[in-house]
Amino acid sequence: MFHKEGHKIIFISLTILVASLLAIDHFITLEWLRKGLMLLLLGFFILILQFFRNPKRIGQSNLDNVLSPVDGKVVVIEEVFEKEYFKEKRLQVSIFMSPINVHVTRYPVSGKVVFSKYHPGKFLVAWHPKASEENERTTVVVENQSFGKVLHRQIAGALAKRIVNYAKENDTIIQGSDSGFIKFGSRVDVFLPLDSKITVTLNQKVKGGVSIIAEK
């Protein structure tokens, strides 16, 4: 199953792939070169399919748990001062996605969307210290019965050229459902109350909509 954000790109890529394979087969006479170019193009197309895959996830919805919003690796767990919305200290958990990870962003908690904002910006590498403040990004805050307000922020990386955010203020959303999509490499930060119990460790691999990253 592929995410709707990839349908157009997959169709265009498939068209280019077929045309290129036919051209290679017609014009390239060297057997090793012809096969090599065909395998290279097929490999590139498979990478595109993998990037836009959208596996169904059956997570255990629970008001007392915060689920990982994305697939990837935990790269930050620390207490920070969140400047944009809370303007106070929060626990930050950051998850880095490589180009081969599923790039669907899912809501970490159920509740009501009370804030949703897009910020244009740079495309620094996702692990850059200033990426959270200077890169293209979206900020979404969901008010949850157990945790209060939970913020998750999609941050573009060096390869990401488009962030898609479905969150609209006053929407009532379900934990684990689609919140958006980031095209080609990025990271997501989650900001939690200071009394949250973090259940992941640095460098741990997590799955969006399935892995529990914090408990009440």
Residue 207 burial by Cβ neighbours in a 10 Å radius (0-12, 13-18, 19+) = middle
SS3 95: strand
User: Of these residues, 68, 186, 196, 211, which one is catalytic?
Assistant: 186
Task: Point out which residues pair with 117 in neighbouring strands.
Answer: 139
186 has catalytic annotation: yes
Asked whether the beta carbons of 31 and 146 are under 8 A apart, the reply is no
Q: Are strands 111-119 and 104-106 parallel, antiparallel or unpaired?
A: unpaired
Asked whether the beta carbons of 136 and 122 are under 8 A apart, the reply is yes
SS3 170: coil
User: Rg of the Cα trace of the chain?
Assistant: 19
Cα three-residue angle 26-32-38, rounded to 5 degrees: 55
Q: Which residues are catalytic?
A: 186
